[in-house]
Structure 1
Amino acid sequence: MCDLMPAAQPAEKIGKMKKLRRTLSESFSRIAFKKEDSGFDEICVTKMSTRSCQGSDSVIKPLDTIPEDRKVQRTQSGFDPFEKPAGQVKRVHSENNACINAKSSSSGKESPKLRRHSSPSSPTSPKFGKADSYEKLEKLGEGSYATVYKGKSKVNGKLVALKVIRLQEEEGTPFTAIREASLLKGLKHANIVLLHDIIHTKETLTLVFEYVHTDLCQYMDKHPGGLHPDNVRLFLFQLLRGLSYIHQRYILHRDLKPQNLLISDTGELKLADFGLARAKSVPSHTYSNEVVTLWYRPPDVLLGSTDYSTCLDMWGVGCIFVEMIQGVAAFPGMKDIQDQLERIFLVLGTPSEETWPGVHSLPHFKPDRFTVYSPKKLRQAWNKLGYVDHAEELASRFLQCFPKNRLSAQAALHHEYFSHLPPRLWELPDMSSIFTVPSVKLQPESGDSIQVCSKSHGKAASNSKH
């Protein structure tokens, strides 16, 4: 019968093996428990990679090695989640699936490996997507369903605009907020306001935007009588650039007006407030005709049309263009839709089937309700258009009653009105500002020194006018 028992080991070899096991055991003890040797506060060991390292049973806390005075300090000291203690390194995920809270070495330098694996979700630093990561500084405005605040990010210290949308349990999240957030997440362009963050709580939905200090409405109120022609050209070019970008992606803004065009301190114009914007599907669907603020609403929508495309936005561009040059709103209706249409027809002429095929089929077009006007030259209504080369012709291409006759944003960018601008502007990447071209800059507006004293009056005019 074979002997299956192992042969006896020499005493000397057994002694060496026991010594080796004892050495390995002591080494592990030093790594896991001796804080003064390893520099580790605690080690979170993942068992067979099947448990989260946040499980309470997987954490080895070496409290026995911490002096009593240190224990008291750890439990009683105040903890500021946005202030990282000196020398403290963020929680990291190591190569062997262990979560380690480590202190820096005696040299005060952080290990490159620890730095590379640092997690932005450290409990000692503010996080994106969290309400307490932003500080409200002042209220900027309030609407029917949202309040806008100037704020500051605790993550990077930058100024932001916080659009706080109130949620009502019985109504849920306003569809305009959902639409705005979903559209802006996919839009990256220098002339479109940047959405930094989205914060959703039970009571509110907060959209965190880049902070831009003023808008075109306030800018025009500060400089009444019309803007510098060169500045009008740069503002219009940026507006068309942003619109061309979204129109190529089948998105309509649907609420173009000076209040929704932000102006940075460098003169950069940004499309904002996409609450009424929507992606246009093909084939076309019908949309609500209660969209654009009355003064900037095209006649086809005023007459009840719900079948429109990018030409809807281009009418607003024409109105804003005229207002920047002339210094007054193009069609400032004071009463109702009827009054608004009368002001439009007074300049552009009352439409007929010959000038606007299909106008008689629109729900609110009643020929006997409108005075018959003949079309006029635009400079007869807004004389300053005649002082700027090609301005009247471009404005007339936007302000067409028949929607299909309006110039597109992409085509307008190549209009002769912009022929004096540097050719590099048409070659810029989407995220590059036009002001990265050295020769491009805003000109001083006339009467800047005079308007400082009447700044508050201008804001009051803004509130009443728009």
Structure 2
Amino acid sequence: MDAYQKLEKVGEGTYGKVYRAKEKATGNIVALKKTRLHENEEGVPPTTLREVSILLMLSHDPHVVRLIDVKQGQNKEGKTILYLVFEYMETDLKKFIRSFRQTGESIPAKTVKWLYRYMMFQLCNGVAFCHGHGILHRDLKPHNLLMDPKTMMLKIADLGLARAYTVPIKKYTHEILTLWYRAPEVLLGSTHYSTAVDVWSVGCIFAELLTTQALFQGDSELHQLLHIFKLLGTPNDEMWPGVSNLTHWHEYPQWRPKHLSTAVPNLDQDGLDLLSQMLQYEPSRRISAKKVMEHTYFNDLDKDSL
């Protein structure tokens, strides 16, 4: 690691600490993700190998953070350390949203409309690229979306939980995703799921971008489900065939669906239509990331420049 000079710790990823660093030879700023290998492990852990192989495959897309290099070293105790060297991005979407919430800054309506469409299109572009290469992210949230505040370029990061999916769809653990962005089928214990879980997360991020508040803020899996049911109505087998057979299904309070404009009042008709398609209960009815980019909500964008 003599090639890099650590400047400061900037965060913690799914599996390790992240530092801002400078490449000594070029002066370029990079992000170093440090992963310590456990003593009882022979070689590199499967989780790290999985992340590296997925990142190498997805690094071709401009909306996925680029893995530049992988370095191996040792710390003072002689333990093996693996460093993933990424392109450095100045901030993330969580900090970007928080900055507007804290300052109460009002942005001209036209700018807001363009900015949010631009950012959402980039996000869906990156997600569609991942899905097109058979990869589920499984942990999409504002904190994992890196940004350059000058150009408003957005990139998907932290693919530590990403999984290759196959047909037929494999059985997965449901202990994934930060609670607020977790799809209802995962909350209800489904272990067979696919790309629709990422689209639900994108829908939650879309709403949060517009209101600066998370759409569903539960503090437990049950509480999270109740928040969803209160807005979208309590699901049943008619609107979501098979929901009552899911592992964590119980008799829940009965709520009628509210109009999405009650939760996201500053979204136009096209935007509300798109959001409703992202937040469909039945996973097979949820719009795909690729189809999102064809939605009329993005008609005004110069897509070729993206």
- Could you tell me the TM-score, scaled by structure 2's length? 0.91
Following the alignment from structure 1 to structure 2, what is the Cα–Cα distance between the partners of residues 359 and 144?
31
1:364 matched to 2:248: yes
The residue aligned with 1:212 is 89
1:249 matched to 2:249: no
The residue aligned with 1:449 is none
Q: Shift of the alpha carbon at 1:356?
A: 0.5
1:384 matched to 2:266: yes
Q: Shift of the alpha carbon at 1:389?
A: 4.4
Q: Which runs of 5+ in 1 are unaligned?
A: 1-130, 426-433, 435-466
Contact 2:190 2:247 in 1 (8 A): yes
1:166 matched to 2:46: no
The residue aligned with 2:68 is 196
Following the alignment from structure 1 to structure 2, what is the Cα–Cα distance between the partners of residues 240 and 145?
25
Equivalent position to 2:4, from 126, 130, 134: 134
Equivalent position to 1:309, from 175, 191, 194: 194
Q: Secondary structure at the match of 2:5?
A: strand
Following the alignment from structure 1 to structure 2, what is the Cα–Cα distance between the partners of residues 233 and 145?
32
Output the amino acid matched with 1:166. R
Following the alignment from structure 1 to structure 2, what is the Cα–Cα distance between the partners of residues 244 and 220?
23
Contact 2:16 2:33 in 1 (8 A): yes
Go from structure 1 to structure 2 and tell me whether the alpha carbon gap of 1:247 and 1:157 turns closer, same or farther (over 3 Å shift). Answer: same
Q: Shift of the alpha carbon at 1:145?
A: 4.0
The residue aligned with 1:44 is none
Q: Which runs of 5+ in 2 are unaligned?
A: 74-78
Output the amino acid matched with 2:287. L
Q: Shift of the alpha carbon at 1:176?
A: 2.7
Go from structure 1 to structure 2 and tell me whether the alpha carbon gap of 1:151 and 1:286 turns closer, same or farther (over 3 Å shift). Answer: same
Q: Shift of the alpha carbon at 1:141?
A: 1.5
Output the amino acid matched with 1:170. N
1:266 matched to 2:143: no
Shift >6 Å, 4+ stretches: none
1:147 matched to 2:17: yes
Equivalent position to 2:284, from 377, 400, 404: 404
Output the amino acid matched with 2:162. A
Output the amino acid matched with 1:208. V
Contact 2:14 2:160 in 1 (8 A): no
Residues 296-375 of structure 1: pairs in structure 2 closer than 5 A:
296-333=181-218, 335-367=219-251, 370-375=252-257
Percent of counterpart pairs with the same letter?
Answer: 46
Q: Structure 1 stretch 172-181 or stretch 198-207: which is displaced more? A: 172-181
Q: Shift of the alpha carbon at 1:424?
A: 2.3
Equivalent position to 1:186, from 57, 62, 71: 57
The residue aligned with 1:18 is none
Following the alignment from structure 1 to structure 2, what is the Cα–Cα distance between the partners of residues 288 and 175?
16
Following the alignment from structure 1 to structure 2, what is the Cα–Cα distance between the partners of residues 150 and 343?
38
Q: Shift of the alpha carbon at 1:182?
A: 0.9
Contact 2:9 2:20 in 1 (8 A): yes
Following the alignment from structure 1 to structure 2, what is the Cα–Cα distance between the partners of residues 292 and 414?
26
The residue aligned with 1:393 is 273
The residue aligned with 1:239 is 123
The residue aligned with 1:58 is none
Following the alignment from structure 2 to structure 1, what is the Cα–Cα distance between the partners of residues 303 and 204?
27
Following the alignment from structure 1 to structure 2, what is the Cα–Cα distance between the partners of residues 144 and 288?
16
- 1:156-199: CA deviation from partner (whole Å, max 9, x where unpaired): 22100000011111145443322111101111111010000001
Q: Secondary structure at the match of 1:286?
A: coil
Q: Structure 1 stretch 197-206 or stretch 221-230: which is displaced more? A: 221-230
Following the alignment from structure 1 to structure 2, what is the Cα–Cα distance between the partners of residues 194 and 401?
33
Task: Report the aligned-residue RMSD.
Answer: 1.5
Q: Shift of the alpha carbon at 1:143?
A: 5.2
Contact 2:114 2:301 in 1 (8 A): no
The residue aligned with 2:48 is 177
Following the alignment from structure 2 to structure 1, what is the Cα–Cα distance between the partners of residues 303 and 137?
27
Output the amino acid matched with 1:210. E
Output the amino acid matched with 2:184. P
The residue aligned with 1:222 is 99
Following the alignment from structure 2 to structure 1, what is the Cα–Cα distance between the partners of residues 53 and 304?
32
Q: Shift of the alpha carbon at 1:375?
A: 0.9
User: Which one has more relative contact order, counting CA pairs under 8 Å at least 6 apart?
Assistant: 2
Q: Shift of the alpha carbon at 1:327?
A: 1.5
Following the alignment from structure 2 to structure 1, what is the Cα–Cα distance between the partners of residues 117 and 15?
35
Q: Shift of the alpha carbon at 1:382?
A: 2.2
- 1:101-136: CA deviation from partner (whole Å, max 9, x where unpaired): xxxxxxxxxxxxxxxxxxxxxxxxxxxxxx111110
Contact 1:229 1:325 in 2 (8 A): no
Go from structure 1 to structure 2 and tell me whether the alpha carbon gap of 1:142 and 1:424 turns closer, same or farther (over 3 Å shift). Answer: closer
Bigger-Rg structure (1/2): 1
